[in-house]
Structures are given as C-alpha cells and as structure tokens.
Structure 1
Amino acid sequence: MKRLPIITHSLFAELVDQCRAEPRDPELWPLSGSIVTVPVDGQDHWYFQKSRRTTPGKYQQREYLGPVGDTELALKVGRFEAAKAGYTSRGEIISTLKSSGVAAPTGKLANLLLGLHEAGVLEKAILVGTIAFQAYGAMLGAKFGQAAFYTMDVDMTQADAISLAVKDNSLDVPLLDILKQLDDTFSEVPGIDPKMPPVSYINKDKLRLDVLMPFSGPSRGPIHSRTLKAHGHPQRFLDFLVVEPVQTVVLVGGGALTHVPSPARFALHKLIVSQRRDAIETAKRRKDLLQAQQLIEILMEDDPDALLEAHEDLRQRGPNWSKYFQGGLNALDNSTTKQVALSFFEE
C-alpha cells in the first residue's frame, strides 16, 4: 500500500464537494448525453443524443425534443447546458485523478455504474464488495495493490432499518426494469430453489449485480428491499457492515454519489467473511484478507479510533463474531501487519 500525493487526495475531496453541491434536477435529461440541433425543412430542432455508454445497441440514439423556437423548452435546454458544463468539468477532474494513479471502474463495469447512477439507483444504495473497496483508495489517500480490485460484480444493499442521508423514497420501477433499460440482455439468475424470487442479475458480458440484505436469526429465503424494488440474498454479519455508511463518489461520468460502508467496518467484516468461505472460494478468501490487510494498515496510522470502535461493537455481538475475527487476523499473509494488528486489537 502506498500513499497518494496530497494534491491528488485533495483533488478528490474537491470532487466530492462539487458533486454534493450540484443540485439534482429530475426534469433534465441524463448528463452523459448531449443536446444537438438538427435542421429539418428549414427549421432547427433540438434532439437529445443519448450516450453510447448507457444505452444498448450499436447506434447512438436520439430523442426528439422540439423546435428551437419553443421558449419553455429553451429554458430547459439552458438548464441542461449549465449542468452539463459542471458535469464535464468534474469529468476532467476524474481524468486527472485516474492519470495520477487513483483506481476507478473501467470499461463495461464503469458504464453499468454510470447508468445506475443516472437512473437514481446508486444514491439509494450502499455499495459493498470490491467496488466499495476500490472507492476507499481515493477516500483515504491510498494506492492499494491492484490484485484486490478485479471484479465483474456490483454488490449492493439497502438497509431499511438504517437512516441514510438520502431522500426516503424508492425506485420508480423494479431494479430489473432499470437494468434492462441499460442493457436488454440482463436477466434474472435462477436460485437453487426456483420457487424463490431471484436476488441476482447478469448480462451477456457476465456483468453481475447482486442484491444483499442483512439479517440475523434462523435461516430464511430472499428478503424484499422496498427501496430497490428487488429481493436480496440474506447475509449474516451484513448488519455490522452497514452501520453508519459514508458518502463517497464513484469515479464514473461526472462523478456518482453513493454510499459505502465505513472503511473500519469493511476491514473487520472482510476478516470475518474470509473465515466463512468454503474450500471452493479460496481465491475470494485471499482477496478478502488482502483488502482487510491494506485497510487495517492505513487505518492504524490515520484513524485507529475507528478501528477500535468497530472492534468493540463486533466484540459485543457474541463469541462467534470474535472467533471469526480472530481467525481472520491470524490468517493475514503479511506477518508484520499481523503481529502489529494482533497487539493493536488486544489493547
């Protein structure tokens, strides 16, 4: 793990401030697209040209808006162009961050995240898994090892019992409908029991979105998320992870505001999860431990209190929690980090 230059870390903080300050206008078209003027029979007309990044098909799609002389439409186009200027400026900041070594989603995964952002999904979700870990680099000013970043999955949850700093409303349409609007090859992934509602979706490129929901108590089937209009796979120990999530920006488009778990809880949760993997998930177990190790290293330097507070919460949840946590610590590959961490959490 290496430190990002302070100027790069500060630039990300500026990006977050700009994204938070940008008013969201639900009447406007997606900012990844553009307004174009097309002459038809001697009269100029406005069209909205959709971005190839967020629409299916080989050809760039256009939506007719109306004649250029429409006064009310002109005001709306003006608002769009002003918002687009800010979006473009933030995109330039993101390009600078990426060229400075900040990790960010790429390719079709980035396009999916951008589409989910423009559909209003990301602001209502907590991203977990590797996408969340990737976001911690810019947040904490760290350059993590690339081996911990690879993923073709988007894991998200919406914890109904926890108050998020977002509007208390749900998606207008089911999550699957939104995915199909972004890519019509998305389909439900059948579960082991075909009678149970699906909790995962996948497209032809093997991009996968998994909805997870926290629970405790006896084993049970999929849990419905009112906000995401989808069912989620019940996950033990997830309730610990999603306490007091933090807001961040995913580096796609002009920046996509969303929520991720606190880095300290993410690190300790990864230690626990690593001990519950079965033999066929050895690669995932190694990635769990690598992500936990790198976060623990930087947090012991920068925010030890957050680690201690998360550990105290974990310890009070029962002996199984402590058992899995201790097993994860003992399984860390880096012997120096392991010994320091063992001593740190014993104090």
Structure 2
Amino acid sequence: MNRHSALAHAAYHDLLRLLLDDRVSDLRGTPGRVERGARAYWYDSYRVGSEVRKTYIGEDSEALRARIDRHQQLRAEAQARATERARLVRILRAERFMSLDPTTASLIAAFAQAGVFRLGGTIVGTHAFRLYEGELGLAYALDAAAQTGDLDIASFERLSLALDDRTEPPLQQVLRDFAFDPVPALDNAPAWRWRQTRGQALVEFLTPAFGDEGIRPLAALGVTAQALHHLNYLIAEPVHAALVYRSGVLVQIPRPERFAIHKLIVAERRAGRDRIKAQKDRAQAALLIEALAQDRPDDLALAYREALAQGPKWRERLAAAVEKLPAPLRAALPG
C-alpha cells in the first residue's frame, strides 16, 4: 500500500476546508435553523420581490454553525480563497493525485453547481473509491483505480422530499446539456439511468430500499432512482470530499469504512453472476480495510459491527466475504 506525501495530504485537507468555507460564503439572506423530527437543518432565507425563498445550506453541525457565524468574513475572503484553492490543486497535481476524465469531472462539477451534493446526493461506486485517495492519503496504482464510464449518485428518498428545495438549474436540464438522454426502463417505469449520446458515459440514480426494490422519486434532484437493499447502510452519515478539478469541487461520498464493508457484501451478491466485478469489489474493500486498520481501526470495527447487526443474511454474506480476505485483513476485523 502506497501513501501520498505529508505535503499532499495536508494540501488536500486544506482544499477541502476552503471548499466548505465557500459553501456558506455566498448566503443571500438570513440563515435560519429548522428542526424536523430528531434532526435540524439550516436554510438561507431571502426575498425576491414580495416572495420569501429558502435555500438549503446543510444539516446542523458544530462545524457548520461556526461557519455560518462568520459568513460575512468568509464572503470578504472569497477571492483570496479562490486563489489559494487554485494553488492547492496545482500542488496536488504535482504530487501525482489522480484526476477524473474531463467528461466525468465536468459533469460532477455541474452537478455540484446545481446543488446535487448540497441536497443530499452522494457519489457511490468506483468514483467514490477514487476520492478516498485524498481522504486517506492513498496513492493508487493504475489497476486499483481503473476508471469507469458509470457515475452513480445515491440519495435518501425521504430526505430528498423533506428538504423542500430543488436543484437549480433542474438536474434533467443539466443532463441534457451534457447530451445525456434517459434510458427507457422496462414496463414503462420512469427512467433512472441516463446515457450520453456522444459517448459511453452512464449516470445512474439510486436510493435505499425499505421493503421492495423498485423505482422511487428523488424530489430534490428532480429525477427517479432505483431502490436497492444494503444502500441505507452505505450512505448513512456521508462525508465531504474534494474533487481535484479546476480549483476544486465539493462533493459527498460514503464514509470509507462503510464503503469497504459494503463492497464485501456486494462482492458476495455478485459472486455467482459477475465474477470480474466481484473481484474488483473485493480488491477495493481490501485496500481500504488495510488503510483503515492502520489509521482508523475504531471506525472500521464500528462499521463492521453495525453491518453484522443488520441481520442473519448480512452476517452470512460477511462471513463468506471475510473468509476470502488475506489473513492480516481478517485479523483487522473484530471477531
């Protein structure tokens, strides 16, 4: 397992901090806290003529409250911050951070600009795995981070409805601007996959299944999604990440320990029908488990125990998956 230098690791986390500062530097009105059930959310309330509009900022946290408290200062520092972000991206490129292909990177940047990640969208799949390079300071080998044309975005259906906000411009318009068309689904169901007409890129929208798998609406994103089991575990408590593109793009990805354990589950589900993808899933899980066992063993152990608590089918699949791991990695997981 190779690691990036301490300089690269520090530059990445500085870039991420500046992107999080940017998120609250352009508030147009008065920030306000709204409680819904056990959770609380912040909105930017402002007037357009006689109408009061609200834009979702993010879920309440100590870090977000601290940024909101100094949003006037952050606004005044916006230009200096942009210059520093560009410098940090140059450092990361010089340190051989891997970047996405221009088509995918520009599409993700457009999604971020429209508010996809602010409104709960989470990158999953191989593109999320690549973004752990900065989070964990990993220097990927070419075969470990081979690119795919598929971009998977997951979000909770209930959260998407509860936020009472929408992407702007509408996400379907963004997709069409990038020459994506909806892929017809079976039985005249709403499309949840979009394919680029001038290339091979594919965007899929996913949501956790609570009960039967099927097609569900994601109101905040203005799209429909395929509901899947096990996804609830994966995208719970996601983390922010910085995409090394232009002067940095703020996105959202699953927690790395949850991603690793989820990949073990997915590998077992695929084992009988897609051996090549199952091998890739195990390889990604193994690399992350090795890194987490060194840097964040408590987080890894907690995620593993939470997966075991999901029920007998999870325990059965995890037991089979863990048996296929090298002995040192099996030892890193709690018994």
Tell me, yes or no, if the aligned pair for 1:214 and 1:235 is still in contact at 8 Å: yes
Residue equivalent to 1:76: none
Tell me, yes or no, if the aligned pair for 1:144 and 1:294 is still in contact at 8 Å: no
Q: Distance in 2 between matches of 1:102 and 1:162?
A: 33
Superposition map of 1:7-26 within 5 A: 7-22=7-22, 23-25=24-26
Tell me, yes or no, if the aligned pair for 1:214 and 1:234 is still in contact at 8 Å: yes
Matched, 1:87 2:82: yes
User: How big is the shift at 1:189?
Assistant: 1.0
Matched, 1:339 2:327: yes
Task: For structure 2, list consecutive stretches of 5 or more residues without a partner in the other structure.
Answer: 29-74
Residues 151 and 95 (structure 1), Cα distance of their counterparts in 2 relative to 1, 3 Å cut: farther
One-letter identity of the residue aligned with 1:282: R
One-letter identity of the residue aligned with 1:207: A
Superposition map of 1:312-327 within 5 A: 312-327=305-320
User: How big is the shift at 1:87?
Assistant: 3.1
Task: For structure 1, list consecutive stretches of 5 or more residues without a partner in the other structure.
Answer: 28-79, 333-337
Q: State how many pairs are aligned.
A: 284
Residue-by-residue CA offset, 1:25-58 (whole Å, 9 max, x unaligned): 388xxxxxxxxxxxxxxxxxxxxxxxxxxxxxxx
Tell me, yes or no, if the aligned pair for 1:196 and 1:221 is still in contact at 8 Å: no
Please give the secondary structure, in 1, of the residue aligned with 2:329.
helix
Please give the secondary structure, in 2, of the residue aligned with 1:232.
strand
Tell me, yes or no, if the aligned pair for 2:157 and 2:216 is still in contact at 8 Å: no
Residues 81 and 208 (structure 1), Cα distance of their counterparts in 2 relative to 1, 3 Å cut: farther
User: How big is the shift at 1:169?
Assistant: 2.4
Q: Distance in 2 between matches of 1:225 and 1:162?
A: 9
Q: Distance in 2 between matches of 1:114 and 1:85?
A: 21
1:205 pairs, out of 199, 203, 211, with 199
User: How big is the shift at 1:88?
Assistant: 4.6
- Tell me the C-alpha RMSD between the 2 structures: 2.5
User: How big is the shift at 1:98?
Assistant: 2.1
Residue equivalent to 1:151: 148
Q: Distance in 1 between matches of 2:168 and 2:112?
A: 14
Please give the secondary structure, in 2, of the residue aligned with 1:123.
coil
Tell me, yes or no, if the aligned pair for 2:111 and 2:171 is still in contact at 8 Å: no
Residue equivalent to 2:269: 276
Superposition map of 1:17-166 within 5 A: 17-22=17-22, 23-25=24-26, 83=78, 86-124=81-119, 125-149=121-145, 150-161=147-158
Matched, 1:308 2:301: yes
Please give the secondary structure, in 2, of the residue aligned with 1:156.
strand
Please give the secondary structure, in 2, of the residue aligned with 1:249.
strand
Residue equivalent to 2:220: 227
User: How big is the shift at 1:238?
Assistant: 0.4
Give the TM-score, by structure 1 length. Answer: 0.75
User: How big is the shift at 1:160?
Assistant: 4.2
Please give the secondary structure, in 1, of the residue aligned with 2:143.
helix
User: How big is the shift at 1:324?
Assistant: 1.4
Tell me, yes or no, if the aligned pair for 1:104 and 1:135 is still in contact at 8 Å: no
Give me the identity figure in percent. 28
Give the number of the structure whose alpha-carbon radius of gyration is greater. Answer: 1
Superposition map of 1:164-183 within 5 A: 169-172=165-168, 174-181=170-177, 183=178
Tell me, yes or no, if the aligned pair for 2:181 and 2:194 is still in contact at 8 Å: yes
User: How big is the shift at 1:134?
Assistant: 0.8
Q: Distance in 2 between matches of 1:248 and 1:294?
A: 19
Residues 188 and 224 (structure 1), Cα distance of their counterparts in 2 relative to 1, 3 Å cut: same
Give the TM-score, by structure 2 length. Answer: 0.78
Tell me, yes or no, if the aligned pair for 1:249 and 1:257 is still in contact at 8 Å: yes
Q: Distance in 2 between matches of 1:239 and 1:329?
A: 21
User: How big is the shift at 1:81?
Assistant: 12
One-letter identity of the residue aligned with 2:226: H
User: How big is the shift at 1:118?
Assistant: 2.0
Residues 154 and 222 (structure 1), Cα distance of their counterparts in 2 relative to 1, 3 Å cut: same
Residues 84 and 201 (structure 1), Cα distance of their counterparts in 2 relative to 1, 3 Å cut: farther
Residue equivalent to 1:190: 184
User: How big is the shift at 1:327?
Assistant: 2.0
Please give the secondary structure, in 2, of the residue aligned with 1:216.
coil
User: How big is the shift at 1:237?
Assistant: 0.3
Residue-by-residue CA offset, 1:154-180 (whole Å, 9 max, x unaligned): 1111124569xxx76222454222211
Q: Distance in 2 between matches of 1:303 and 1:89?
A: 29
Tell me, yes or no, if the aligned pair for 1:114 and 1:253 is still in contact at 8 Å: no
Tell me, yes or no, if the aligned pair for 2:301 and 2:334 is still in contact at 8 Å: no
Q: Distance in 2 between matches of 1:118 and 1:24?
A: 14
Matched, 1:291 2:284: yes
Tell me, yes or no, if the aligned pair for 1:174 and 1:230 is still in contact at 8 Å: no
Tell me, yes or no, if the aligned pair for 2:171 and 2:222 is still in contact at 8 Å: yes
